[in-house]
Amino acid sequence: MEWAGSSRVTEKSVAVKGAKLQTQAFGAPSSPPIVLIMGMMSSMLWWPERFCRDLAAQGHYVIRYDQRDTGLATHYPQGEPGYSFSDLADDVMAVLDGYGLEAAHLVGMSMGGFVAQETALRHSRRVLTLTLISTSPLAVEGLPPSTKAYREHSAAGEAVDWSDLGAIADFLRRDAAMLAGTRHPHDAEAVSALIARDMARAPSFASATNHFALVGGEEPARLKASDLTIAVLAIHGTADPLFPIAHGEAFTKAVPNARLHRIEGGGHEIHDRDIDEMVQAIAHHAT
C-alpha cells in the first residue's frame, strides 16, 4: 500500500474464468467508483498515473486494470486468444465483483470504449455512467475512416516481426507519434519510457496482438449504441487520426442521453497537458 498526499494506492489480482487480471486502485474505497478500460495492446500503465490520482482527488475511487494479454494479466499463445471480445466485457464485471462493488462509472478509451459500451448494454444495472474517449459508437455506419497517413502506417504493421521486442518497440513509438494531436508537442521521450516500462512489465508482450483478432471478429448485431439509456460523455480530440471527430459527434446523434466534449487539436491519446481538462469533464459527468 502506498500513500501520496491524500491518494491511497492499492493493488490486487482478480480471478476471471480461469485467468487473472491485475488491478490498481486510487483513493478512498468509500468514494464513488470509476473503472478505467484501456485500448488495444495497452496495459493499465497507459492510463497516466497523474490522471488516476487527479481523478481520485476529485472524490472518486479509481480502478485501472490490465486486460487479458497485457501487463500482469493472463497471457495466451500468440494468435490463439483463449477468450472472446464479450469476455472482456464480462471481465469488467469481475473487477467490480473483486472489489465488492454493485455498480461503477466506466471510462473506456479506444478499444476500451467498445468494451465499455458492450458492458453497459449487457450489464446495464451495474453501470452508472459511460465516458468514452477517442472511440466510436457501436453499430453506427457511414463514419469516416482513419486518415490516409495512419492507414498506411497501420498497414506497415503487418511487416513487423512481433517476436522481436526491439521491432515492436520501434513500431509502437511510431504509432504513438502518428496518433498524436496538433495542440501540443509530441513527447517522444516520455512515450519511449512508457513503452519500455510496459514491455519490461509484461511476461509476453507479443501476445497482446491477440486483440487484433478480437476486433476483427463479427460484432453481435444486437449491440447498438442507440440502445444505451445511461448518460454518455464522449471525449474526443478534433485531430484524432484513428477515429476522426465525426465518431465522437456520432454519439450525440445515436445515443439519447449523450454529450460531446471536444479536445481542440487533441489526438488519439491522453496528453499530459490535456489531463486537467479531461479529469474535470469526467468528474463532472460521473456524479
pLDDT per residue as tens, the chain (287 positions): 343 434 689 999 999 988 999 999 999 999 999 999 999 999 999 999 999 999 999 999 999 999 999 999 999 998 899 899 999 999 999 999 999 999 999 999 999 999 999 999 999 999 999 999 999 999 999 999 999 999 999 998 888 888 888 999 999 999 999 999 999 999 999 999 999 999 999 988 888 888 988 865 545 557 999 999 999 999 999 999 999 999 999 999 999 999 999 999 999 999 999 999 999 999 999 98
- Report domain extents, the chain: 2-285
Predicted local confidence at residue 2, as pLDDT = 42
Under 8 Å between Cβ of 259 and 252: yes
Give me the half-sphere count of Cα atoms (radius 13 Å) on the Cβ side of residue 56.
27
Predicted local confidence at residue 116, as pLDDT = 98
Predicted local confidence at residue 204, as pLDDT = 84
Under 8 Å between Cβ of 285 and 258: no
The whole-model pTM stands at 0.95
Instruction: Tell me the three cell numbers of residue 131.
Output: 465516458
Q: Residue 5: left (phi > 0), alpha (psi -120 to 50), or beta?
A: left
Residue whose cell numbers read 479529469: 279
3-state secondary structure of 275: helix
Report the C-alpha gap between 62 and 262 in whole angstroms: 23
Q: Residue 121: left (phi > 0), alpha (psi -120 to 50), or beta?
A: alpha
Report the C-alpha gap between 163 and 160 in whole angstroms: 9
Instruction: Tell me the three cell numbers of residue 13.
Output: 489480482
Sheet of strand 127-133: strand arrangement = 2-4, 7-16, 19-26, 61-65, 33-37, 104-109, 127-133, 232-237, 258-263
3-state secondary structure of 19: strand
Q: What count of residues does the chain have?
A: 287
Report the C-alpha gap between 91 and 64 in whole angstroms: 12
Strand partners, 103: none
What end-to-end distance do the CA atoms of the chain give, in Å? 27
CA-based nearest residue to 110, from 235, 23, 225: 235
Instruction: Tell me the three cell numbers of residue 41.
Output: 495492446
Predicted local confidence at residue 216, as pLDDT = 52
Rounded to whole angstroms, what are the CA distances from 267 to 37, 148, 186? 18, 15, 10
Under 8 Å between Cβ of 34 and 55: yes
Dihedral sign for Cα 124, 121, 95, 257, please. negative
Residue whose cell numbers read 487520426: 241
2-285 architecture in CATH? 3-Layer(aba) Sandwich (3.40)
Predicted local confidence at residue 25, as pLDDT = 98
